[in-house]
Structure 1
Amino acid sequence: MSARVDDDALAVCVRAAERGRIARVRDDQTVFKDECAFSFDSPLSAHGVYVNAETLFGYSRKYVALDAARTGCEVYVRVKTTRTLKPTSEGEAKDETPTTLGFGVDGGFASESDKYDVDTTYALVIAPDFDDVSRALPLEGLPETLREACEKIAQKQGFHDTEETKSWQEIREVSRYALELAQEDNGKKIPSDPSKWRCEETGESGNLWVNLSDGHIGSGRRHFDGSGGNGSALRHYEAMKAQGKHYPLVVKLGTISANGADVYSYSPDEDDMVEDPYLAVHLRHWGINMLSMEKTEKSMAELQIELNKGFEFDKITEAGSQLESAYGPRLVGLKNMGNTCYLNSVMQVLKQVPAVCDRYFDKYEIFQSAPEDPVTDFPTQMSKLVNALVSDEYASPEAENAAVAVCPRMFKQLVGKGHPEFSTGRQQDAVEYFQHLLDVMTRAERAASSRVSAGPPTAAQFTFEIEDKLTCVESGNVRYSTRKDNILSLGIPLDKATNKASVAAFKERELKRQKKEEEDVEEIVRPEVPFSACLEVFGSTETVEDFYSTALKRKSIASKVARMKTMPNFLAVQLRRYYVGDDWTPKKLDVLVDVPKTISLEHLRARGLQPGEVELPEDQDGAAMETSSTPAPARVEPDMAIVSALMSMGFSENGSKRAALATNNASTEVSMEWVFAHMEDADFNEPLPDPSELPSVSAPSAVNPESVMMLTSMGFGEDAAEAALKACAGNLERAADWLFSHADDLQSAIAQVNGATNDVGTDVDSTTLDGAGEYELFGIISHMGGNTNCGHYVAHVEIDGKWYIFNDRKVALSRQPPTDLGYLYVFRRR
């Protein structure tokens, strides 16, 4: 039975209703009741969360007074949750080893909600009075609008409680070929006894896939699912296709059970794991009764999960070592929301950059000046996350299993909004996320310059200039050009391994063991390449064929060498461990590169035009200078739909962007053909060069008229709207953000876009800092897995002279940082 609201509270409620701002909660509207907009307090916190009845944003008790002063709201709904561990009866213990890539699903990783009984209560609160004992909802006598708002706040799911918590579950699309799949009547029947299954080409008995169209049994691809194989199933598909027969769907025999099986589509427009809703019927055609089958091999999901049993996982996570847990300021773990270890690792390193803390840590004024919707405000969410990581507010010995966890869900959604990859729940490349985050941060700091500290943007701490020197071999004339970047991306020269003889001997022994089918196992001998060799490759001279020499007025040969023109305060170094193999699948170099704790780049510093050097003349005839085997990037943004499609096939973001630009954003198919023709180019995975140093390539300049109209309706001129859309690849939301962020220098920004002087691909800020090229290592981001679209990231960070491992929520003193297995290394100037 509900109680009546007391007279004092009723007077405030009537006043609030007369204000006319009580929220009328729509069905599609989010109520932010499960996390404070300014901190990581939740309903599970000691005081719960207080939801503004007008804006529907929740705040911890610490920030209610601030929000009331900002918005004028007096009426809040307090949300308080308690939870108790579910009892476990004797005999209920079960194997919790996951078999499905997902949270909260059968066979998946257990979510916290599966372990607890939860009780949530709602109460009316009048700010700044926090006495809610006698005002538990529902209450009688409330004004109608407020009563409806309170009911909706209690009924609706919160920001966390949506399907986002299950976003990590592996999603397999239904194959478009399943409904009308062709199946031959060739009399073939597949035995139900797994011991009788054999590859029809090689006789192998493991990792076998049956083609659902003609019953052919073939071997899977090596490295594709972590097991052996020779690819005969794929070769059979290609052979049938050459005969005009499209038989795309195959099933992994050893995974068939009453619960389903692994189905793969070889069709180029899918080329992925898929669902076949008619699988039972399709298998019955070949004599296989799913209901009577038992799984005999690991599924693709199980093989991916087992990545943690290898050398790489053990070494990076320091498995086997008695690690001492660590707690305190800067030692706060981050909850993994399924596939967000890439975000967690990047932020654990970034928080150690003084410029980040100077701008975002303990800046109460950022919250004071936040817009009414703080969830979509980058300075607010960045400050919220940095406060949590740097302070001791969420640091406790119970942090690893605490009810209240630092879970950067709002931050992830905001930074990834509108991006074809980072807006999803899939695993991502930490290096690409690092660069994207710096881009987002730069735009936000421009737009909110009055709210954040003055000075160069945060990204300037990492931005540097590279000087490229081209020398015409015949004439000896030179040309210098400069490009900007924020990642020093280094290739790994395997031919420079110091233990080549040992590696070769190991491979020979391994080959003999395989031929003799010996079962004894020897520890793998991996190539060991010095870090200095990677730097030598960066600074080495490259030969440029078909170079148009303006001195000779004809094509010739040139040499090209890169040097560091400026040395940033913080240097991010990527070791390119990932590549695309001969079978077009992403692979990883199994190599050790021991990166030293201190490095010097002064020997790579650019010197500019030297005495006696003669510059190549400008080409008066307008002939194009060809600087590499890669077609000159057009002065347009790459189509992110094409880039996303290519990245989903395993190609790098930089290579995908090059393909889109080189083909004038023609289509995914055309861009893919360009990739196959140029993936061996030395600069394929390099960041895109500054287009101001390259000749123009004609590109479509038209923008969507409807998008232009939307932007002009906001008060911007048509020329500004078109420039914004050009700069943002036609993305309306990003274009609006671009206009507001360039409000102080709009005409200059428009001229820059129309003159194509912006960087293509990475929005590296124009500000660069310079100093001595002497650096010391303080951060390592390592990746475990066959490619950056799966697996797991871990960060090692040096704090106050000690190294710590940050494995999502777990934080501990590190005994042996994996300096030889890192993917991204971050240095600070000594």
Structure 2
Amino acid sequence: MDFDLSKINPPSADTPVYKDDCMFSFDTAFDDEGLDICMTCYQAFSRSKFDYTSQHSMLYDHHLFLNYRKVVKQRDIQKQHQHQPLKMLKLEVKEETEDDLFETKASVYDASIDATFPLSTKGLPEKLVITAKAIIRATSSEKKQEIKAWQQEIQPCRHSQKIEQIERSKHASLHQCDDCELDENLWICLECGNIGCGRSQFGGVPGNSHAVAHRKDHPDHHVAVKLGSLSTESADCYCYTCDDEVKVPLLAVYLKTYGIDLSHFIKTEKNLTELQIEQNVKWDFSMDSVSGESLIPVFGSGLTGFKNLGNSCYLASILQVIYSIPSFMNAYFSPDEGMPMEKIVGNTDPASDLETQMYKLGDGLLSGRYSVPDSFTTEKIKYQRGIRPSGFKSLIGKGHPEFSTMLQQDAFEFWLYLVSELDKQHIIGSGSEVPTEVFKCVLENKLKCTHCGGISLTKEVCDSVSVPVEEHLISTDDDGTRKYAFTTMEKCFNGWHQAETIDYQCKQCQGQKQGALKSQGFKTYPEYLVVNPQRIKLENWVPMKLMVPIKFNESLDLNSFKSEGKKDDEVELPKGEEDDTTFQFNANALEALISMGFPENRCKRALYTTGNRDAETASNWLFEHMDDSGIDEPFKVAANQPDSCKVSLKDVETLTSMGFGAKLAKKALIVNEGNVQQSVEWLFANPDDDGNIPKQPVKYDPAHKVKELEHMISNSSKYQLLGVVCHKGTSIHSGHYVAFVKKQVEGEERWVLFNDEKVVLAGEESLKEIEVSGYLYVYKRK
């Protein structure tokens, strides 16, 4: 055994160690041949269909690998029953881990001679064994990213920072609801000590909502704590007034008022975060009158499921639809080649390369190699194990305030972000252009002065359309559930297409404030139409989901919604008269904000003020500045962007004296129109800002793109439904997403339901759920 150990060293604590799946495929340590982890660069490869291990060895002269396998432990079921107590006591929450179910098998593989050596082999160099054991012990790169993403900060609210308490009856029990016999899922009111059961929860946790009822009877009692979540390391505290999970700074002191010593408590029930994760992972979106087991699993090419990572259903559902579009399939999937050689040669960090991740997803979803029944499950019906999109999720979300977290996110916002990133980075794959081109179309906006009749026409390139949802309330149940009349997608487009009256100052009318009719329509039709029904509505500035049913229809004709252009009796206003800014707003963020129900004027002001970054940052600013005077005044960048030389030096000095740099202080004053107090708030909210004044991004010449699309104009306005992303739940930031996609199954076109790793034929009943849950529709032009 003559090994070259010159490049071999144990990984340090900060070194990324990849051992969850292959860098170029979704082969894992659970497969028969396991993973080969390079002992030089700590990247993982596999020897399955494409033998990426040998390719890496030959290209980079890295020959020694740790072969890493996970094997199911042989469990003595009879012995377990013998040691199980006759009466199971409700004790501390404990769950089986991966280490309880699987054992690790490790050996050294020398690719240069195609030989494997168990770690117990006599004569193995000590340095080799030490390095191998260090790789085994190392926290995987995926787990490090997951831990980092779960570092969610729950903040105190004004109700939890100071609580006025009254004594609780000494004879009242802390172990049972004051209004019923439930002895679990109990919440204690921190104001009076009332014990009330919570809402019924996912997984069969009972609840009669008596804690909520107590709060309705006592509106000044804000904060309650879940008794079963209490320990020295955890506590579920919920503010009913803020409708959010909060931190209570003096929790131990408040609990002692009611005889509860936090240091003696052991957590006996799952907390809110754990229940949310479990719900996201296990939510049965069968949408059928029968149990989910009756749905027929399907397997094969293009029918691969995703393993839920805790909050990844929004991402998985979008990827299932997008990889069903031919331009994406052709760009990012090569059945005979696997990962293209140009992505292997010289690609020393494939985990950080978006194009590599897109190819990896294409192979995982479309090859069919991973679309097989899960042999590890004991379920009667075998679903798939599912591929884990952890590498892609980590990369695409890197640096993004929402998608880098482990919290549930908005699927439509993710669609917009993914399409934008592929465009911006020009990720073309094997094609000649970015596959997102199939979504692009030209919309024409028309503005008509109601006084002089003059019109202005502007064209813009879009890759998705958000349409209002027509709502006709039929009734409201006792529990507050609203029932709406059916609408149709055509009616939604009518609301999008019809003219609306807006405030307008026409310069041709000597600058007098006049009204104007604003309308929009299609100038060209996209090859694939992406539609988002605006199911999010602001009620008292709280985003609420509209459960309006949209009649399920697979056909759509957009002929009635094309732009009418300039009529013969209309006169165009001089070019530039209608323009009040040359600033290019982040189109995706602007559309997302408008779809939430914010007025366009406020959206533009928020985007500009927060640096034109993303919808999340802008929406946070909007919620914080709803009561600002002048928030609804017409927004004009030119009028709100004083030249930096006009910024008061005295104001700059005031801000720099607080420790901020001069460049950042100037920007704060510019974006806040010279208001020092608002500038201070902006500075504390944006401490990592680079201080650069936002400028119009130059991706391509918009006028040239408009002409290019108009030249390729198609007369067909008829579309057929390809896929729908559905959302189950009352809030977009919780609940569960699934995708329905039209697929070829055994030579027949069928609707297939992708519910994480469960890939099944969709029944009639489940298709009906699209009507109330459809959140993003993708149509193919006929």
TM-score range, shorter chain: 0.7 to 0.9
Structure 1 pair 827–575 and aligned structure 2 pair: CA distance change class (3 A)? same
Residue matched to 2:676: none
Q: 1:3-402, aligned counterparts within 5 Å?
A: 6=1, 9-10=2-3, 13=4, 17=6, 21-22=7-8, 25-61=11-47, 62-84=51-73, 86-88=75-77, 89-90=80-81, 107=93, 113=98, 116-127=101-112, 129-132=113-116, 134=117, 136=119, 140=123, 142=125, 149-162=131-144, 164=146, 173=154, 175=156, 182=162, 184=164, 192-193=172-173, 212=190, 229=213, 232=216, 235-236=219-220, 250-252=223-225, 262-265=236-239, 272-276=244-248, 279-286=251-258, 313=285, 315=287, 319=291, 322-362=294-334, 364-369=340-345, 371-398=347-374, 401=377
Which one-letter code corresponds to 2:438 in the other structure? Answer: Q
SS state at 2:364 partner: helix
- TM-score when scaled to structure 1? 0.70
> Any conservation in 2 of the 1:307–1:313 contact (CA below 8 Å)?
no
Residue matched to 1:491: 468
- Deviation of 1:411 after TM superposition, in Å, equals 0.7
Residue matched to 1:440: 421
- Deviation of 1:217 after TM superposition, in Å, equals 10
- Deviation of 1:416 after TM superposition, in Å, equals 0.6
Find the partner of 2:622 among 641, 664, 671.
671
Rounded Cα–Cα distance in structure 1 between residues aligned with 2:587 and 2:227? 42
> Any conservation in 2 of the 1:659–1:674 contact (CA below 8 Å)?
no
1:479 lines up with 2:456 in the alignment: yes
1:466 lines up with 2:443 in the alignment: yes
Structure 1 pair 655–261 and aligned structure 2 pair: CA distance change class (3 A)? farther
Residue matched to 2:396: 415
Residue matched to 2:729: 785
Which one-letter code corresponds to 1:809 in the other structure? Answer: E
Deviations 1:551-585 (A, max 9, x none): 44322010011101221111111112122322x43
Deviations 1:471-507 (A, max 9, x none): 0011111001122322211111113xxxx6xx34xx4
Find the partner of 1:811 among 759, 762, 765.
759
Rounded Cα–Cα distance in structure 2 between residues aligned with 1:765 and 1:122? 59
Rounded Cα–Cα distance in structure 2 between residues aligned with 1:385 and 1:107? 36
Q: 1:423-822, aligned counterparts within 5 Å?
A: 423-445=404-426, 452-495=429-472, 503-504=474-475, 507=476, 510=477, 526-582=484-540, 584-618=541-575, 658=604, 660-661=606-607, 663=609, 671-675=622-626, 697-698=640-641, 754=695, 768=709, 770-771=713-714, 772-800=716-744, 801-816=749-764, 817=767, 818-820=769-771, 821-822=773-774
Structure 1 pair 804–785 and aligned structure 2 pair: CA distance change class (3 A)? same
Which one-letter code corresponds to 1:192 in the other structure? Answer: A
> Any conservation in 1 of the 2:157–2:247 contact (CA below 8 Å)?
no
Rounded Cα–Cα distance in structure 1 between residues aligned with 2:82 and 2:500? 68
> Any conservation in 1 of the 2:494–2:561 contact (CA below 8 Å)?
no
Rounded Cα–Cα distance in structure 1 between residues aligned with 2:547 and 2:114? 59
Deviations 1:776-804 (A, max 9, x none): 11111111111111111111111121111
> Any conservation in 1 of the 2:188–2:227 contact (CA below 8 Å)?
no
Rounded Cα–Cα distance in structure 2 between residues aligned with 1:706 and 1:348? 45
Structure 1 pair 261–71 and aligned structure 2 pair: CA distance change class (3 A)? closer
SS state at 1:375 partner: helix
Rounded Cα–Cα distance in structure 1 between residues aligned with 2:218 and 2:579? 42
Rounded Cα–Cα distance in structure 2 between residues aligned with 1:594 and 1:767? 35
Any unmatched runs of 5+ in structure 2?
202-206, 378-382, 612-616, 646-659, 665-685
Structure 1 pair 234–85 and aligned structure 2 pair: CA distance change class (3 A)? farther
> Any conservation in 2 of the 1:219–1:233 contact (CA below 8 Å)?
no
Which one-letter code corresponds to 2:102 in the other structure? Answer: D
> Any conservation in 2 of the 1:209–1:219 contact (CA below 8 Å)?
yes
- The sequence identity of aligned pairs, in percent, is 25
Structure 1 pair 566–531 and aligned structure 2 pair: CA distance change class (3 A)? same
Structure 1 pair 158–706 and aligned structure 2 pair: CA distance change class (3 A)? farther
Rounded Cα–Cα distance in structure 1 between residues aligned with 2:359 and 2:306? 15
Rounded Cα–Cα distance in structure 2 between residues aligned with 1:326 and 1:603? 39
Structure 1 pair 789–417 and aligned structure 2 pair: CA distance change class (3 A)? same
Q: CA RMSD in A?
A: 5.3
> Any conservation in 1 of the 2:455–2:571 contact (CA below 8 Å)?
yes
Structure 1 pair 468–191 and aligned structure 2 pair: CA distance change class (3 A)? farther
- Deviation of 1:455 after TM superposition, in Å, equals 2.6
SS state at 1:489 partner: strand
Any unmatched runs of 5+ in structure 1?
1-5, 100-104, 199-205, 238-248, 515-522, 627-631, 684-690, 708-728, 736-749
Structure 1 pair 338–311 and aligned structure 2 pair: CA distance change class (3 A)? closer
Structure 1 pair 139–617 and aligned structure 2 pair: CA distance change class (3 A)? farther
Structure 1 pair 487–261 and aligned structure 2 pair: CA distance change class (3 A)? same
Deviations 1:161-214 (A, max 9, x none): 44727967x956364889x9556576665863488959xxxxxxx999866467
Deviations 1:233-292 (A, max 9, x none): 89527xxxxxxxxxxx71157868789763135798xx7313447534312224567799
Rounded Cα–Cα distance in structure 2 between residues aligned with 1:804 and 1:186? 57
> Any conservation in 1 of the 2:449–2:515 contact (CA below 8 Å)?
yes
> Any conservation in 2 of the 1:251–1:261 contact (CA below 8 Å)?
no
Residue matched to 2:679: none
Structure 1 pair 296–226 and aligned structure 2 pair: CA distance change class (3 A)? farther
SS state at 1:573 partner: strand
Rounded Cα–Cα distance in structure 1 between residues aligned with 2:400 and 2:722? 30
> Any conservation in 2 of the 1:333–1:400 contact (CA below 8 Å)?
no
- Deviation of 1:334 after TM superposition, in Å, equals 0.7
- Deviation of 1:420 after TM superposition, in Å, equals 0.6
Residue matched to 2:653: none
Rounded Cα–Cα distance in structure 1 between residues aligned with 2:599 and 2:310? 22
Which one-letter code corresponds to 1:797 in the other structure? Answer: V
Length, aligned pairs only: 695
Residue matched to 1:518: none
Rounded Cα–Cα distance in structure 1 between residues aligned with 2:92 and 2:713? 54
Structure 1 pair 802–700 and aligned structure 2 pair: CA distance change class (3 A)? farther
